Amino acid sequence: MERNYSLEVFCIILIVLLITLPLFPKTDSTRTKYNFLLITIDTLRPDRLSCYSREHLKTPHIDSLAEKGVLFKKAFAHTPTTLPSHTNILLGTTPLYHGVHDNSNFIVNEEFLTLTELLKNYDYSTGAFIGAFPLDSRFGLTQGFDVYDDYYGGISSQEFTYVERKAEVVVDKAMDWLKNQRDPWFLWVHCFDPHQRYDPPEPYRSLYKKDPYSGEVAYVDFVLGRLFDYLEKNGLFENTLIIFTGDHGEALGQHGEPTHGYFAYNATLWIPLIIYFPGGQPGEVNHEVCHTDIFPTVCDTLGIEKPSFLQGVSLMSAAKGKKLPKRVIYFESLYPFYSRGWAPLIGFIEGSQKFFDSPIPELFDLEQDFDELENLAPQKKLGKYKAKLEKIIKQQSYAGKTAGRQKIDREALEKLRSLGYVSNPQVSRKQSFSQKDDLKTLLPYQVKLMNSMKAYHGGDIMTGVRLLSEVIEERKDFDQAYSYLATLYKELGKLEEAIKTLKEGLENNPSSNKLISSYGIFLIEVGEYDAAVEILKKGLDCIDYDPELWNYLGVAYWSKGDFQNAVEAYQKALILDNNYPIVFNNLGSLYLSKALKSKKAGDLKSAIHNFQKAIELDPGYSSAYNGLGSAYGETGDMDAAINCWEKAVELNSDYSFPLYNLGLAYLAKGNKSKALEFLKRYKTASYTRISEKEKEKLNSLIQQCQQK
C-alpha cells in the first residue's frame, strides 16, 4: 500500500531567506573573558572512549578532560553526516531551520548568524583547522573565522574517498596559530581520522590490527594529548571553555549499516559530549541533550546574550545538577533521499521514546532497548507520534516564507546569488513512498555499494565490478552505482567500458547531475573535448556553484586550445573556492603553454605566480613543482628549475616528467652521471607507456650519458 508524505520540509531549499542579524553590544567589561576551544571528531562512537565504556580501548587524554569536566551520557546528533552536524553546532538550529541536509550540494547561507560571527563581534580571535573536504571552505562555515585552514591538498581523484589530513597535522597547525593569539580566542579543531577507510598510523595499526577503527580513535586521543599539554604548559587550560564532541557515530555493522549516513539509529546518532567549564565542578549528566545545545551553552558560559533564534538549551544548569526542561530532539537522515530519491527518514527523541517516521515506521524504548532491537510500532497507535512530529517540524522550520523547488530565471538567480542566496537544484523527487522505498528494504543495495568500495580498496577490483553490476541490474535508478562502476573500469584501463557505463546510466537517469559531471570528466580522459565541454556546461546549468565542475570545464577548453574560455572557467572555480590548488596548477600549466607559443614574459610570469600559489596551498603538490621548474627553465634559471624538479621527485619518486626534465637539465650542464641516474629512473617508470619514437630518443640520451 502506498502512502503519501508531505515533503515541504525535504524539498531542497533553493533560496534561504535573509535572516536579520541581531545587533549585539561590543565587549562588556563585566563579561567573563574565557577562551573557547571546540574539538569535533568525525565519526566517533562514545563507546570507543574509555570514559564512556572500557570494553574496547583506553583513551587517557580524553578521559582526563572528562575527569575535569562534565560528561553527558545521552547526547545525540540531529544528522548522521558531517556538514549538517557542524552546521547544527555552529548555527544552533536544526536542518529544518538552516536547510543544510547533506554533505553534497548544500552551502550554508552567509546571512545566517554563526556562533563564530557572534564571538567575533565580542572581539574574539577566531581560527578553524579542518581535517577533511566535507567541511571545505566552499560549503560556507568560514563565516566569522579570521583563519579557516582547510589546506589538506587537492580533491581526491578517487571517487570513493575524501581528501583528508592526519590529526597531528591539524593539531600542529592549530597550536602554531595559538602561539600568536592574545585572549580571548575561539579555536575549532576538527579531526577526521576515525572516518572510513580505517588506516591508523603505527603503532596503532599494529596494536589494533583486528579493530582499526579503534586504532584511529586511540591515535586521535594521543594527538589531543599534545594539545591539552600545550594548554596546560602555557597557562591556558584553566581559562578556556572546552567542548569536545563528535559529529556523528559509526554503525560498524549494527542494523546492517557498514558506516554512517544511511539510517538514524543510535549507532550513528549517539555522540560523545564533554564540557570543561572553567572553575566548574566535574560530573555526569544523564539527560538527553543534543548538538544545538552547544551554542546557547557557550553564550551562557562566556556571558554573552543568546540570540533569539537558537533552538537548543544551555547546559550550564544541567552541569550544576539541575534538571533540564522536558524537550524533544528532532533528527533526520536524508542523504539517501537527496542522492537517490529513496524514502526520507525523520523522527524525534523524547525522554526514553524514539520515533522514526518512514514507510515502515519504528518506535523504540531507549531506556530498555538503547540498541533499538525491538520495534514497538506494530503494537502501537502512531497517530500521536506523527502529530507531534508535524508540530516539531512546524516549530523548528524557519518562520518566514520558505523556498521549495521552484523555477527561477537565470537573471533572477544571478541577482539572488549576488545577495548571498544559495540554490540547490537537485532533480525532482517522488512525493509518495511505499515500503519498497523504505531504507530498510533498500539496505542490500547500500551494502553492496559499500562492499564494492571495500573490495576496491583491498585490491579486488573485479569483485567491486561484480557487485556494482548486480546493483545496476536490479536498480537502474541508482545513479551512484553507475558512477562508481565507471571509476572501477577506469582503474582497469577500460575507458571505453567506463564511458559506455556512464552513457547507459544517463539514459536511465537523464537528470542525474552526478552522471552528467562524471561523463564529462571521462570524455576529457579519452580526448573528446568538444563533447566534454557540451556535457559539462549542461551540468553547470544545474549546479553552477560547483568549483570542481568549473575546473574540469577549464581543462576541456584548454585541451581543445580555447585558452580564453579556459581561463574564465578556472577563474569562476576560484571565485567559488580560492583555496583550490588544482585550479592554480592548471592555470599555471595554461599560461606556461601560452608562453611557449607567444614567448611573452607576461604569460611566463603568470605561470610562475599560479604554480607558486598552488604550492603555497598544497606544499606536497608534486605536479605544481614540476610545472614551476619548467617555467623557471624557460626563464633560463636552470638552478631554480632543477631545485623544483628535484622537489617534485622527492614528493613522488616515480613521477616521470620531472625525472626526464632532470635528465635533460643535468646533461645540458655536463653532469652526465646525474643525467644518467635520472634518465634510467625515467626509463624504469615510463618505458612501457611511451611511443617507439620516444624510446629511441631516450635510449640515445642514455648512450650519450654513458660516453666518456
pLDDT tens digits for 325-337? 889 999 999 999 9
Band the pLDDT of 153: cuts 50, 70, 90: low
d(CA 654, CA 210): 32
d(CA 220, CA 194): 8
Band the pLDDT of 3: cuts 50, 70, 90: very low
Strands 125-129 and 185-191: parallel
In this predicted structure, the answer to whether residue 672 has a pLDDT above a threshold of 70 is: yes
In this predicted structure, the answer to whether residue 198 has a pLDDT above a threshold of 60 is: yes
| pLDDT, tens only, 213-255 | 999 999 999 999 999 999 999 999 999 999 999 999 999 999 9
Summarize the confidence of residues 634-652 as an average pLDDT. 95
Burial letters for 539-554: b for 16+ Cβ neighbours within 10 Å, e otherwise? bbebbbbbbbbbbbbb
Contact 91, 99 (CB under 8 A): no
Band the pLDDT of 390: cuts 50, 70, 90: very high
Among left, alpha and beta (phi > 0; psi -120 to 50; other), residue 674 is: alpha
Band the pLDDT of 30: cuts 50, 70, 90: very low
CB atoms inside a 10 Å sphere around CB 25:
10
pLDDT for position 689: 86
Burial of 635 (0-12, 13-18, 19+ CB in 10 A): middle
Burial of 609 (0-12, 13-18, 19+ CB in 10 A): middle
Per DSSP, helices labelled H in 179-285 are 204-207, 212-233, 266-269
CB atoms inside a 10 Å sphere around CB 451:
15
pLDDT for position 430: 65
Summarize the confidence of residues 43-47 as an average pLDDT. 98
Task: Choose between 517 and 315: higher pLDDT.
Answer: 315
> What share of the chain in percent tops pLDDT 70?
89
d(CA 92, CA 99): 13
d(CA 688, CA 681): 13
| pLDDT, tens only, 409-440 | 333 233 223 222 233 344 445 678 999 999 99
In this predicted structure, the answer to whether residue 164 has a pLDDT above a threshold of 90 is: no
Instruction: Please report the DSSP string for 247-275 in residue order.
Output: S----TTGGG-SSSSS--SHHHHEEEEEE
pTM confidence score: 0.75
d(CA 171, CA 62): 15
pLDDT for position 409: 30
Summarize the confidence of residues 681-708 as an average pLDDT. 92
d(CA 133, CA 573): 16
Band the pLDDT of 508: cuts 50, 70, 90: very high
d(CA 117, CA 316): 22
| pLDDT, tens only, 91-122 | 999 999 999 999 877 889 888 999 999 999 99
Q: Please report, in angstroms and rounded to a whole number, the separation of the first and last CA atoms in the chain.
A: 87
Please work out, in degrees rounded to the nearest 5, the angle formed at the alpha carbon of residue 264 by the alpha carbons of 262 and 269: 115
Domains in the chain, start-ordered, CATH in brackets? Answer: 34-324 (3.40.720.10)
| pLDDT, tens only, 484-503 | 999 999 999 899 999 999 99
Band the pLDDT of 148: cuts 50, 70, 90: very high
Torsions phi, psi for 348 (to 5 deg): -150, 155
Contact 625, 648 (CB under 8 A): yes
Helix, strand, coil percentages in the chain from 3-state DSSP, rounded to 5: 50, 10, 40
Mean pLDDT, rounded, of the chain: 89
Task: Choose between 653 and 419: higher pLDDT.
Answer: 653
C-alpha cell at 319: 552541569
pLDDT for position 26: 40
In this predicted structure, the answer to whether residue 698 has a pLDDT above a threshold of 70 is: yes
C-alpha cell at 53: 565504556
Torsions phi, psi for 355 (to 5 deg): -115, 130
Residues forming beta bridges with residue 265, ordered by sequence position: none
Measuring CA to CA, which residue among 600, 551, 555, 599 is closest to residue 571? 551
d(CA 111, CA 203): 46
| DSSP H or E stretch at residue 319 | helix 316-319
Q: Which of 308-312, 512-516, 520-524 has the lowest mean pLDDT?
A: 512-516
Task: Choose between 578 and 30: higher pLDDT.
Answer: 578
Measuring CA to CA, which residue among 668, 632, 667 is closest to residue 647? 632
Summarize the confidence of residues 298-317 as an average pLDDT. 97
Instruction: Please report the DSSP string for 327-354 in residue order.
Output: --EEEEE-HHHHHH-PPPEEEEEETTEE
> What share of the chain in percent tops pLDDT 90?
76
Contact 290, 248 (CB under 8 A): no
CA 558 to chain CA centroid, nearest Å: 28
pLDDT for position 480: 87
pLDDT for position 565: 98
pLDDT for position 115: 99
pLDDT for position 152: 66
